[in-house]
Amino acid sequence: MTVTRVSCSLPNVCVIDIALSEPIRIIAIYAPASKTWNWTDLTTLITNRCMIMGDFNIDIERDGDKADRLLEWMDSTTLRPVITDSNTSLRSDRIIDYALTTNVDLSMQTYEGITSS
């Protein structure tokens, strides 16, 4: 298996390609709440088999216009959300950490033990 880091100038975004029988791209993201993201900046990074995961700082069910912009971009790129059944933060009851996929089967679990953050 070969893993290659993909050049990306976007802040708080890391991109790798994994050469499997069917190559897959993994994009890790931290979208701070203090910054307005232009989701289309990520569009050129999306491949046929892709997973985007991380802290989006947007609760898709609760965050109104911000969520609508993210959902519209997801629709335009055929990404589908993979969301846990429980909140992903110790500080709130919001679900802001999840994954988006295209042509990749993915399931997620939430760790419910004690963490340091």
Cα(94)–Cα(86) distance, integer angstroms:
9
Q: Report the pLDDT value the prediction gives residue 32, as an integer from 0 to 100.
A: 87
Check which CATH number belongs to the domain holding 17 and give it: 3.60.10.10
Q: How far apart are CA 54 and CA 63, in angstroms?
A: 17
Q: What's residue 6's pLDDT?
A: 97
- Please enumerate, as own/partner, the contacts of 90-93 that have beta carbons within 8 Å and a separation of 24 or more: 90/115, 90/117
Which three-class secondary structure state does DSSP give residue 92? coil
pLDDT band at residue 105 using 50, 70 and 90 as cut-offs:
confident
pTM of the model: 0.82
Q: Which of the four pLDDT bands, split at 50, 70 and 90, describes residue 104?
A: confident
Q: Is residue 108 part of a domain?
A: no
Q: Does residue 30 sit within a domain?
A: yes
For residue 35, what are the domain limits?
Answer: 2-102
Residue 115 lies in a domain: no
Residue 71 lies in a domain: yes
Residue type, 58: I
For residue 110, tell me if it sits in a domain.
Answer: no
